[in-house]
Structure 1
Amino acid sequence: MTILNAVASTLSRHTRYLDNELHTIGGLVRPGDVCLDVGSAAGLYSRTLSDLVGPTGLVHSVEPLSFGHPFWSRVLGARRRGNVRHHAVALGARPGRAAMRVPYTAGGPATSRSFLDWQSRGLGSNAEFDRHEDVLVEVSTVDELVARERLDRLDFVKIDVEGGELHVLHGATATLERFRPAMFIEIEARHTERYAYSPGDVVEWLAARGYTMYTWQRGWTPAERVCAHTNNYLFRSRAARDSR
C-alpha cells in the first residue's frame, strides 16, 4: 500500500471526511482483478483499486465531469496510472445524451453532488443549493462498456451516482448475470427519491438476482434493508463467493 492510500485508509477509519468503509476494500479485491469505478470523481477509489489489483489487473474509472475536483485529481493521479483506463461518460440505463445537473456554491461547482437528469423528478436532495447548471454528457451503460472493452471478467464494481444506482444496474443486467461481481454501492433515500424509487427497490432488484447485502460492523455483516446509520453497502453473489 502506498503512503497516500495508507493515509486515506486511516482517515476513512477515524474521520468523517472519507467513507468509513474505504479501508475494507483491500479484503474484497485481489491482484489481477478487473474493477469498475462508476462515479470516480477525483479518483480516490480508482487509486486505491489500482494499487490493489497491481500490474496484472485493470481499473475502469468512469467520470463524466472533467472539471470536478481538479486539485485532488492531480494529487491522486489515478488517471495517469498504467492499469487505469478513464471513461469520460455517464453510465445509466440506456445509451444516449443527457444533462448532468451540477449544483453551485459560493466556492464553485459542487460536482460530487451532481446527478444525471434522465427520468429525475426535480432536484430532490439538491434543493439546498441555490443554483444549478446543466452539462450535456454522453451516456453509456455498463453492458455497453464491457462489450466495447471486450472484458472477459469483472470482479468488483463501485457505484456512487447520487441516486441513480438502479438505472446503472438496469444497464448492467447482462454483465451481472455473466460475471457476478462484488459491488460496493452508495444508497441514500434522500437521493433516490428524485428518481421516484426507494433504497428498498435497489435491494430487491439485486436480491432477485441472487445478491446478498452486507453492512460494515467491524466486519461485513448480512443485512436485510438499508439503514439510516450508513450509506455504503456491499453486495455479493453466492456463486461468486463460493468460487473465490
Structure 2
Amino acid sequence: MGKKFLATTCSYLIKKRSRNVISNEVRLTLQKNNLKSALRRGRDLTESIRNLPDDSLLCLAMCLTELRALKPYPGWHFDIAEAHSSSTTQSRRLIWNICHERRLQKPILHPWYHDSTINLYLGNDLSRPIYVGGCIEPNEFAFVHALLKEDMVMLDIGANDGLFSVLAALQVGKQGRVLSFEPSPRELARLQANICLNDLGNVTIFAQAVTDQMGSAQLRISEYGHEGQNTLGNFVWNVRQTGTQTVETCCLDQVPEVRNLHRLDLMKIDVEGAEHKVLKGAKEVIQKFKPALLLELLDKALQFQGSSECQLIQHLLDLGYRIYDFSETSGQPALSNFKKHSTNIVAVYHPCLRIGKNVQSNQQLLDAIRPICKEKNNEERVDPPL
C-alpha cells in the first residue's frame, strides 16, 4: 500500500474512533502477525465477521484491501478472482457479500493507482472485482496508463465513480486535462468526491449525458447493487429500475470546453448503448483531433438505442479508424478480425485509411500507441496475473 493511502486511512479511522467499535477479535485481524492465524479459524471467524456492526465491518474491510499492479491481465473476466482459494481473497468476498446483504451505502477508502485513493461502495457491481480481486478491467486501465503522457487531454464519457478520471488526471499531470461527463446525480456525487479526495485540479466535471443532440432526456436509474448501469435506453442485464431522472444532454461538437481544446488524445466512452450517438455528435471533434477511442461495444445495448454493433463498427471504419480487441492471450490490444471481439475495444485513426488535415499530430499518436497495439500474429506474452 502507498504511504498516501495509509495516511488517509489512518485519518479516517481516527475520525471514526474505530478503536471504540472494533471488537478484540477484529483487532487481532488488523495486526499483520495475527491476520493469517485469525483467518484460519474459518467458520468461527466467519460468524464473528457476520456479527460485526457496520462501522467495524468497514474498518476491517479497509485493512484487507489490495491493489493489483497496473499491467495487462490475460483472460481477465468479472469474477476471475473468486476462483482463488486464498483465505484473504475468500474473506474479502465474505465481507463484500455481507455489505451487499445489508445494502450498505457507506464507502471504504481503497488504494488506487499512482498512490491515489478512491471511495469504494462495497456491495455493488463496480466494487466486487476491485475489492475481492484487486482490479477491474485491468487491460483497459493498462492501455490508458500506457497511452497517456504528460500534457495530454482525455474525455471520460460516462465517468461513473471516476476511476478512469483519477488515473488519467494523474497520468497527464497538472498541464494536462481530463473532462468527465456523468449525468446521474448518484454517480456524479461519487465522481466529485473521488476527484476532491485526490485534490485533482485538472479535472472538469460536466453533469450531462453525452449523445447526438442538445436538450434533455429521461435517464433510467438502476437499482442498488447495479449502480453505473443507468441508461437512456433499456437495461441489458437483469437489472431493476428504481426511478428516472431528467438529465441535460449534450453533443460534444457543441460543448465550448471541448471545441476550444488545443488537443485531444483519448476518448473513453462507456454509456450503456449510446456509444454510436456519442460518436455522431462528435463528428467535428473527431475529424479535428483524431483521438484514440476506448469504448464499450455491446450489441444489445446499442440496439435498444437504435444502433447495432455492425453499424458502430462501420461508422468507425468510415472515419478511418482501425479497430483492436483486447487479446485473450496477452491482454493487450490486437488488430480485430471481427469474428470475436472483447466487450471493450480500442479504435485508432490510421492516416492510410483516410486522409485528414491533422495527419502529422495523428502520426505522433500512432507512434505512441504502436508499442501498445500489436498485430494478432505478433502478440507478446506478459507476466502472469498475481
Question: Smaller-chain TM-score range?
Answer: 0.7 to 0.9
The 3 A distance-change label for structure 1 pair 243 and 12 is closer
Query: Larger RCO: Structure 1 or Structure 2 (Cα < 8 Å, ≥ 6 residues apart)?
Result: 1
Structure 1 counterpart SS, 2:245: strand
Whether 1:242 and 2:360 are equivalent positions in the alignment is no
Aligned counterparts of 2:68 and 2:339: Cα–Cα separation in 1:
25
- Residue ranges of structure 2 left out of the alignment (5+ in a row): 6-65, 79-128, 130-135, 352-360, 366-386
Q: Distance in 1 between matches of 2:69 and 2:196?
A: 17
1:191 positional shift: 1.4
Aligned to 1:125: 236
Alignment partner of 1:141 out of 235, 243, 251? 251
What displacement does 1:103 show? 2.0
> Hey, what does 1:159 align to over in structure 2?
269
CA distance in 2, matches of 1:15, 1:77: 30
Q: Distance in 2 between matches of 1:35 and 1:69?
A: 18
Amino acid at match of 1:171: G
Cα distance per residue 1:173-210 (max 9 Å; x no partner): 00010100001001112311212322121111010010
Q: Is the 8 A contact 1:146 1:175 kept in 2?
A: no
Q: Is residue 101 of structure 1 aligned with residue 101 of structure 2?
A: no
Report what 2:210 is aligned to: 91
Provide the C-alpha distance between the structure 1 equivalents of 2:313 and 2:197, rounded to a whole number of angstroms: 30
- Which range is displaced more, 44-53 or 184-193? 184-193
| 1:43-94 deviations in Å (ceiling 9; x for gaps) | 0000010011011100001111121286686356478411111111110011
| Counterpart-to-counterpart distance in 2, 1:156 and 1:78 | 24
Shift of 1:111: 3.1
CA distance in 1 between partners of 2:260 and 2:266 (Å): 16
Q: Which protein is richer in strand relative to its size?
A: 1
Provide the residue aligned with 2:164 in structure 1: 45
1:209 pairs with 307, 319, 341, which one? Answer: 319
Q: Deviations over 1:129-183 (max 9, x none)?
A: 3434110000011112255662121111000001110000010000010100001
Amino acid corresponding to residue 7 of structure 1 in structure 2: L
Aligned partner of 1:221 among 334, 347, 352: 334
- Segment of structure 1 superposing worse, 219-228 or 196-205: 219-228
Give the alignment partner of residue 63 of structure 1, picking from 164, 182, 188: 182
Decide whether aligned partners of structure 1 residues 242 and 11 sit closer, same or farther in structure 2, where only a CA change above 3 A counts.
closer
Q: Is 1:19 paired with 2:130?
A: no
How far residue 242 of structure 1 moved from its aligned partner, in angstroms, is: 2.1
What secondary structure does 1:195 align onto?
coil
Q: 1:202 corresponds to which letter in structure 2?
A: L
Separation of aligned partners in 2, 1:67 and 1:103 = 10
Q: CA deviation at 1:32?
A: 0.5
Q: Which has the higher helix share?
A: 2
Contact 1:142 1:168 in 2 (8 A): yes
Work out whether 1:193 is the aligned partner of 2:303.
yes
* Gap regions ≥5 residues in structure 1: none
**Secondary structure, aligned partner of 1:169:** helix
Stretches of 4+ aligned residues off by more than 6 angstroms: none
